[in-house]
Amino acid sequence: MDDLDLLKKDWKKQEANLPHLTYEEIYKMIWKKSSSIVKWIFLISILEFLLGAVLNIFLADEEYWQQMEQYNLTEFTVLVYVLSYLITFYFIFRFYKNYRNINATDSAKKLMKNILKTRKTVKHYIAFILISTGVVFLITIFLMLRNHAVTTTSTQNMEFDATQWLIFIGGTLLVLGILLGVVWLIYRVIYGILLRRLYKNYKELKRLEVE
Amino acid sequence: MNKELEHQFVTNLEKHQNIAHKICRIYTNDQDSHNDLFQEITIQLWKAYPKFRGESKFSTWMYRVALNTAITLYRKKKRNIKTQDYDTVHFKIKAEEYDDEAERHLKIMYDAIKQLNDIDKALVFLYLEDKNYAEISYTLGITEVNARVKMNRVKTKLKNIINP
């Protein structure tokens, strides 16, 4: 086919117009993959924060605050909000730092270290979410009970005997367990995929290191 | 040890980067996708590099891995490449070297190649690279006879696209 042969000639001439990357540019490229995963972790944490903030604004309406007032929980709720925002900000900052670090990394050893650090940060973050959810839940229940006992005038309906207390505590713990389980599952799905990919990269790097 | 491997790999790739750039030209339509594919090829080559033990030339091995990457990626995205998107800057032809008629004809040819499927593109690419059938069959992992048959079909397909 003449046409294709004509094209072949032209194809050779095109070689002069091809882009040319330097040694450094190619070198940087082989480490890019982990950096994009870490970037996703950073972006998801921001999205999560925004979603939480939006939910808070919509759920915490007048009625909610009135209810809190009733239970005498206003100060406590505000304190929880402030603390959780502060800690979440701290983690977003850490995720951002990890992202910057991995981007600027120039050797396999340092990259492996940064991958491990990122994984640790994510695990700490999930632990923080789980522990804070549990603690806030328990404290809220406790304060509600106490304040109810203080404010209520009729005593007859608040008297629990030992078995009733046992059932009540058992039920609370069960609900808490399920709640934490669901939260844990959600985070496993969101971050688990990214963490697994990071770990795969890490193992590949390690294999290269050994060989 | 790892440092040395890195250095070896990057040096080799820098020397032979034209292969990857040319594959990008066949499989992508704009500079951004060109860069994306180039990066993906680089990563796949680097991943596969420990298994490359120098039984073949680096370039021979690179053709194989790089084309596989382009084909796999192309399949994953299942992009329908529209000829209108085709970026003429990619195949800029110097005006003094060709008269208008020849230039126009070449553009039609390149446009036609863009319409081929992933495997056919690989065949045309290797043909343009002046590879013989033994090399084509090695690179694509098919038999030589199969490569010949496929190549003839691609040529007919191209003819049909150009002169419908």
| Two structure tokens written together for B95 | 């005006």
Percent of chain B residues topping a pLDDT of 70: 84
Q: Does residue A134 sit within a domain? A: yes
Instruction: Among B9, B11, B17, pick the best mutation site for testing chain A contact (most A Cβ within 10 A).
Output: B17
B9 touches chain A (CB under 8 A): yes
- pLDDT by residue for chain A (211 residues), tens only, comes to 567 888 888 888 888 888 888 887 887 777 666 667 777 788 888 888 888 878 877 777 777 778 777 777 788 888 888 888 899 889 889 888 888 887 666 666 777 788 888 888 888 888 888 898 888 888 888 887 777 666 655 555 556 677 887 888 888 889 989 989 998 898 888 888 888 888 887 877 776 665 5
CATH number, domain B88-164: 1.10.10.10
Q: Which CATH class is domain B1-80?
A: mainly alpha
Q: Assign 3-class secondary structure to A84-95.
A: HHHHHHHHHHHH
Q: Where are the domains of chain B?
A: 1-80, 88-164
Residue A199 structural domain: 48-210
Contact call for residues B161 and B112 (beta carbons, < 8 A): yes
A17 touches chain B (CB under 8 A): yes
Instruction: Among B46, B88, B154, pick the best mutation site for testing chain A contact (most A Cβ within 10 A).
Output: B46
Q: Does residue A197 sit within a domain? A: yes
Considering only CB atoms, A26 lies closest to which of B13, B25, B158, namely B13
Considering only CB atoms, B91 lies closest to which of A14, A26, A207, namely A14
SS3 B1: coil
Number of domains in chain A: 1
Quote the CA–CA distance of B132 and B134 in Å, as a whole number: 6
| Residues in contact with B64: Cβ distance below 8 Å, sequence separation at least 6, in sequence order | B138, B139, B141
B142 CA: distance to closest CA in chain A (Å): 22
Quote the CA–CA distance of A137 and A115 in Å, as a whole number: 33
Contact call for residues A71 and A147 (beta carbons, < 8 A): yes
Q: Does residue A38 sit within a domain? A: no
In the A/B pair of chains, how many CB contacts fall below 8 A? 87
Cβ separation A208–B92 shorter than 8 A: no
Contact call for residues A64 and A18 (beta carbons, < 8 A): no
Distances (CA, A) of A144 to A137, A155, B143: 11, 16, 77
| Two structure tokens written together for A44 | 């998801």
* ipTM of predicted assembly, 2 dp: 0.73
Which residues from chain B sit within 8 angstroms of residue A29, using beta carbons? 39, 42-43
Instruction: Among A21, A25, A34, A113, pick the best mutation site for testing chain B contact (most B Cβ within 10 A).
Output: A21
C-beta atoms surrounding A164 within 10 Å:
10
Q: Does residue A157 sit within a domain? A: yes
| Two structure tokens written together for A130 | 């789980």
Would you state the pLDDT for residue A150? Answer: 62
pTM, entire model: 0.56
Contact call for residues B111 and B83 (beta carbons, < 8 A): yes
Alpha-carbon torsion, ordered A71, A74, A80, A85, to 10 deg = 140
Alpha-carbon torsion, ordered B17, B19, B22, B26, to 10 deg = -130
